[in-house]
Structure 1
C-alpha cells in the first residue's frame, strides 16, 4: 500500500510532465495549421509557465481548505479541459488561452501531489516514496520531445492533447480508489492580497526569463518584466512579514533543512532546466541529428534515473543527506559540463555513459532534496511548504533556460555568428555545470545528522 500512493500520483504527474515538453518539437506543425508563426506560438509555452507561476502559491492553501485528494482530482479535471481546448484550438489566441487553462491544473497537480505523499506516507518510508514520485519529472522532459515529433510526423498534432483525456480519467479513478482522505483544515483563510502580489511576482519573473531566453518578444520586454516581477516580490516580502498567514509562508525558511533544500535545489535546477534546452539543440545544430534522433539519445538518461530508484534509500541510510547531496551535486554538475565537450568523432558509448551516470546522480539529487525539504517541517505546515518549494522550483527552471539561452546568444555575438556552433554549446554547458556545482554551498553547513530520521539513520523516539 505504501507504494501505491506514489504510483497513483505519478500517473497524473507523468501526463503533466510529458505535456509540458511534448509540444516543443511540434511548434512548427501546430503554427502552420492554425495560421501563426512558430515564434509567435512560443507564447503558448510561456502562457503555460506563467499560469503555473500564478497558481502554484495558492495550491497548498487550497488543499488545506478543501482536502488534498479533492483538489488533486480537480486539478486533473482542469488539466483535461485545457487539453481538450488545445486539441480544438484553431487560432493563436485560443491556443494560448487553452495552454493557460492547462497550467492552472498543472499548478495544482505537482505541489498537491507532493503534499498528499508527505501526509499519507510515514516519514520512515518517505525516501522510497519520493523516488517513485520524482520519476515523471525526470523522464517526462526526455520522452516529450520525441513523442511530440512522432505524433506530429505520423499523425495529427491534436492527438498530443487528446491522449491526455483517457490518462486523466484513469488518474482520477485511481486517486479516488487509492489515495487517502485527509481531513480539510476548516479554519483555513485565504490571503487574497498576498495571492495577487505573489502571482504578479512569480509571473513577472517567469514570463520575463522565458521571453529573454525564447525571444518571441524583444528581449527588452523580458528584462523589464523580470524587473517588475522582482519589485512585486519585494512588496510581497513586506506584506508577508505583516500578515499572520501569508499565502507563501516565508517564515518557513527558519527551518534549516527546508532552507537548504530550496536554495540548493534551486541552483541545481538552473542547470537541470538548461540541459533539455541545450542538449537537443547541440545534437541537431552541431551534430546534424534530426529532432527525433536527438530525442531518442536524450532519453538514455532515463536508464540512470530508473537505476537510482532502488538504490536511493540505502545510499541515504549509509551516508545521510549532507554527504549524498554534496556528492550528487558535484558529480551531477561535472557531468552536465562534460556534455558540452563531447564531439561527433568520439565513440557514442562515451555519450551514453555520460547520460546514464548523469541521469542517476540527477535523480539521486532530486529525490534527496525533495525529501529533505520536509524532514523537519511540522505536519500542519506541509501545505505551506509544498507551495513555497514549488514556487521557487518554477522560477529556477525558467532561470535555467534563460541562463543557457543568454550564454549561447552571448557566445554567438562575441564570435560574430548568426547560428550556434559546437564551441558555443561547450561554453553554455560549462556555465550551467558550474552553477550546478555551486548548489553545494547550500549543504556545506547542514548538520551531519540533518534529516536522519527520514533517511532511516535514526529510530524515532517513542
Structure 2
C-alpha cells in the first residue's frame, strides 16, 4: 500500500512520523516523572530536570541545524539525527542511574533538535507555493496529536507497565522510519564551503538557554521567581544582540530577512502565542482534572484525548475551510473556537455532564488544528525556495521557545494566583488567562489583507487553467 503512494507524500509521511516520535517523547515523560523519582529515590525537583534539560538542549541546538544541512546535506543529517534519537531512547530505558539517564536525555535533545527542522525542510524547501497547504497538512498532525495523547498513553504505561516503556516505544518507530527513509529520501548536495557563524551560534544558544532555564526555574515556586526573572531578562537582552548580529553578519548562522515578509512575520508573532496556548492547554487541563477533581491519570487523560479527536476530526476539512474562507477568516474562526472553549472550561465542575467537557475539548482541538494548519501554510507562502532554509530555522527556534514557555507560563500564572485564591479558582482563572491570550492573535490577524497567502490556495485544475489562459 505504501508503494502506491506518490513519492512526495511518502517523504512527508516519513518526516511527520519522525516529528511525532520526537514531540511525543518530549511530553509523555512528564507522566512518568513520579515513577522515575521513586525508582531512583530522588526528589521531584531533581527528576524534573529530565524535562528541562531536554527542552533547553533542543532549543540551544536547533539554530545549528540550518548550517548543518547546508554543510552535510539534509538526508545525512536527518538520518544521523533519527538514529541517534532512537539509540538514546534505548539508553534512557536501560540507564543504571539517574545521572546516566540525564546525560542520555541531553543526547536525545540534541538529536531531536537536528531532526525537527531538517524533517520540515526536506518536505518544504522544494514544494511550490500551490502545494504548500497540502504538504503542511501531513507535517502538522504530529504537533496536534502528540501533546494531546501523551497524557493517556503515559498514564496507561505507568499504570500497567513501567516507566522504561515511555522510551522503548520509540525503538520500533525509529527503526521503521530510518529504513524507509534510507530508501525513499533522495540524496542532496552538500555545500562544503559553508561558513559557520560561531559567534552567532553562541549568542543564540545562550539567549535561548537563559530564557528557557529562567522559565523552567520559575515553575519551582515563588522563591525562585527573582532569579528566574533575571535569567529571562538577560536572555531577552541577549536576544536583541543576536538580532543585530544576524542582521549585520556577512555569513550569519541563518538569515532573518524572512521577517520582512508580512505572511511569515505574522506566523512568528501571533503564531507564537498560539503555539504557547497549544502547549499549555492539554497540560493545564490534565493537571486540573487530577488535582482539583481528584481523577486518576488514566481518567483525566481520557478526557484530554478529545482534544486529539478534535484535531483529527477536523483535519479532512481544514484545507477545504481555508480555501473557501481564506487564511484570514479561517484563522479568526479558529481563534473564536479556542477562545470560547478556554473560557468555558473555567466553569466546569466534577458534576458537569461528561459529554459537555468532552465537547469543549473536541472543539478546542478542532480550533487548534485549523489555526496551526493556517499558520504553517501561510508562513512559507511568500518565501522563495532558496530562502526557506533560513526561514525554517528561524521558525523552528521561535516555535520551540513558544512551546517551551507555554507550560512554564501557565504554571507560574496558576502558582501566582494561588497566593490569593484557592487551588480550584486559580486553575479556573488559568483557563481564562489562556483565552485572553488569544485576543492578541485576533487583533493582529484582523488587520491582515483578506487575500493574504492566496498563492497557496491556487492549485490543481485552477492552476492549470491559469496557465492555459
TM-score interval w.r.t. the shorter chain?
A: over 0.9
Find 1:433's aligned residue among 432, 435, 443. 435
Structure 2 residue runs without a partner (length 5+): 1-5
**Any conservation in 2 of the 1:273–1:398 contact (CA below 8 Å)?**
yes
CA distance in 1 between partners of 2:239 and 2:376 (Å) = 24
Instruction: Please name the residue that 1:96 is paired with.
Output: 102
- Change in 2 beyond 3 A, CA 1:441/1:39: same
Q: Which moved more, 1:353-362 or 1:237-246?
A: 237-246
Instruction: Please name the residue that 2:340 is paired with.
Output: 334
Find 1:52's aligned residue among 58, 61, 65. 58
> Which structure 2 residues correspond to residues 135-174 of structure 1 after superposition, within 5 A?
135-174=141-180
Q: Which moved more, 1:102-111 or 1:173-182?
A: 173-182
Q: Once the 2 structures are TM-superposed, how far is the Cα of residue 159 of structure 1 from its aligned partner?
A: 2.1
Q: Secondary structure of 2:186's match?
A: coil
**Any conservation in 1 of the 2:125–2:386 contact (CA below 8 Å)?**
no
**Any conservation in 2 of the 1:266–1:393 contact (CA below 8 Å)?**
yes
> Which structure 2 residues correspond to residues 183-262 of structure 1 after superposition, within 5 A?
183-215=189-221, 218-262=224-268
CA distance in 2 between partners of 1:350 and 1:174 (Å) = 42
CA distance in 1 between partners of 2:223 and 2:18 (Å) = 32
Output one character per residue of 1:43-64: Cα deviation in whole Å (capped at 9) or x when no partner.
Answer: 1100001011101112122222
Q: Once the 2 structures are TM-superposed, how far is the Cα of residue 216 of structure 1 from its aligned partner?
A: 11
CA distance in 2 between partners of 1:169 and 1:123 (Å) = 32
Q: Which moved more, 1:199-208 or 1:180-189?
A: 180-189
- Size of the aligned set, in residue pairs, is 458
Structure 1's consecutive aligned runs of 4 or more residues displaced over 4 angstroms after TM superposition are 214-217
Find 2:139's aligned residue among 118, 121, 133. 133
Find 1:455's aligned residue among 454, 457, 466. 457
- Change in 2 beyond 3 A, CA 1:240/1:359: same
Q: Once the 2 structures are TM-superposed, how far is the Cα of residue 435 of structure 1 from its aligned partner?
A: 0.5
Q: Once the 2 structures are TM-superposed, how far is the Cα of residue 124 of structure 1 from its aligned partner?
A: 2.1
Structure 1 residue runs without a partner (length 5+): none
Find 2:376's aligned residue among 370, 374, 380. 370
CA distance in 2 between partners of 1:448 and 1:85 (Å) = 51
CA distance in 1 between partners of 2:243 and 2:332 (Å) = 30
CA distance in 1 between partners of 2:154 and 2:327 (Å) = 37
CA distance in 2 between partners of 1:38 and 1:78 (Å) = 28
**Any conservation in 2 of the 1:208–1:224 contact (CA below 8 Å)?**
yes
Instruction: Please name the residue that 2:88 is paired with.
Output: 82
**Any conservation in 2 of the 1:376–1:451 contact (CA below 8 Å)?**
yes
Q: Once the 2 structures are TM-superposed, how far is the Cα of residue 128 of structure 1 from its aligned partner?
A: 2.1
CA distance in 2 between partners of 1:216 and 1:349 (Å) = 37
**Any conservation in 2 of the 1:51–1:104 contact (CA below 8 Å)?**
yes
Find 1:318's aligned residue among 324, 337, 343. 324
Q: Which moved more, 1:275-284 or 1:122-131?
A: 122-131
Q: Secondary structure of 2:303's match?
A: helix
Output one character per residue of 1:90-120: Cα deviation in whole Å (capped at 9) or x when no partner.
Answer: 3332222211111111112221111111125
- Change in 2 beyond 3 A, CA 1:35/1:90: farther
Q: Which moved more, 1:202-211 or 1:325-334?
A: 325-334
Q: Secondary structure of 1:234's match?
A: helix
Q: Is structure 2 residue 19 aligned with structure 1 residue 17?
A: no
Q: Secondary structure of 2:48's match?
A: helix
Q: Once the 2 structures are TM-superposed, how far is the Cα of residue 438 of structure 1 from its aligned partner?
A: 1.4
- Change in 2 beyond 3 A, CA 1:439/1:54: same
Output one character per residue of 1:247-297: Cα deviation in whole Å (capped at 9) or x when no partner.
Answer: 242222101111011111101122222112210111011212101111111
TM-score (norm 2): 0.93
Instruction: Please name the residue that 2:118 is paired with.
Output: 112
Q: Secondary structure of 1:218's match?
A: helix
Q: Is structure 2 residue 350 aligned with structure 1 residue 344?
A: yes
Q: Is structure 2 residue 400 aligned with structure 1 residue 394?
A: yes
- Change in 2 beyond 3 A, CA 1:3/1:80: same
